[in-house]
Amino acid sequence: MRLPRVYYKEFSQTDNISIDNKSKINHLINVLRLSEGSQLELFDGKGKSSICVITSLKRKEIILERISQIKSQQPEKVKLSVLMPYIKKENLYFAIQKVTEIGISKLILFKPDNIDQSMKKKDLTKINEKAFSIIANSCEQNGSNIIPDFLTYEDISSALSEKRFSIFFDLDAVQDLNCIKDYKDDITLITGPESGFSERERKLLDANTNHNISLGKNTLRAETAPITALSIIKSNLGLL
């Protein structure tokens, strides 16, 4: 049985390992039913991990001792990034969880021109904090010791300012994935909001991306498109 995994970014830099986060303590004690003497795996989000044992377990603090050598995980040779818009909050969290579980190197969020009304006046700072928490929790689940980079932008033009090989997925596209079948470099996958890309965004995408590709004849929901695109790309490139 696989050991429980916990994200702890400073663990490789100290011998005094303690967890004082209330929600994490609650999860370890009341959900996983861990006790003194239980073992778990800590990872720092940058590739390092180690097995630890709980030496003291209290309601406000859990103290651990490292009992194995620190191991290092190498990043994937082909780095896949997902560039997606802010969409309805719960749908956004679902999409972030799933693309992280599948495996990405970077997640980038942008505020689309056609942003959903439910998100227009939301405090994106709080949403971003929750998004990163979901990313970290998803890495605890999927076994990756490297947490994807997380970036946010005010609009798509800012997000596209960093030049990269990129593909955007669109209902009107005629190309399929055969055009990148043998591509072995970093790729950014771009998907749109519930109401689609605006004309301004479409022009920017046409000018700043390498390919406009179809995901098939079915119209996918905004939260389904990045999951589907990532799964298909990883499968076609033999990365699953």
Render pLDDT for 44-86 as a digit per residue (tens, 0 to 9). 999 999 999 999 988 899 999 999 999 999 888 888 999 999 9
How far CA 193 is from CA of 50, 98, 162, 187, 240, in Å, comes to: 40, 17, 21, 20, 26
In sequence order, what E strands does the chain have?
A: 5-7, 17-19, 39-43, 48-57, 62-66, 71-72, 80-85, 106-110, 149-153, 166-169, 187-190, 211-213
pTM score, whole prediction: 0.89
Q: Could you give all domains of the chain from N- to C-terminal order, each with its CATH number?
A: 5-72 (2.40.240.20), 80-236 (3.40.1280.10)
Render pLDDT for 80-136 as a digit per residue (tens, 0 to 9). 999 999 999 999 999 999 999 999 999 999 999 999 888 888 889 999 999 999 999
Task: Identify whether the C-beta of residue 43 lies closer than 8 Å to the C-beta of residue 66.
Answer: no
Contacts of 163 (CB under 8 A, 6+ apart): 208
Task: Identify whether the C-beta of residue 39 lies closer than 8 Å to the C-beta of residue 141.
Answer: no
| Number of other residues whose CB lies within 10 A of the CB of residue 6 | 23
CA distance 55 to 65: 7
Render pLDDT for 130-178 as a digit per residue (tens, 0 to 9). 999 999 999 999 999 999 999 999 999 999 887 777 888 876 766 666 6
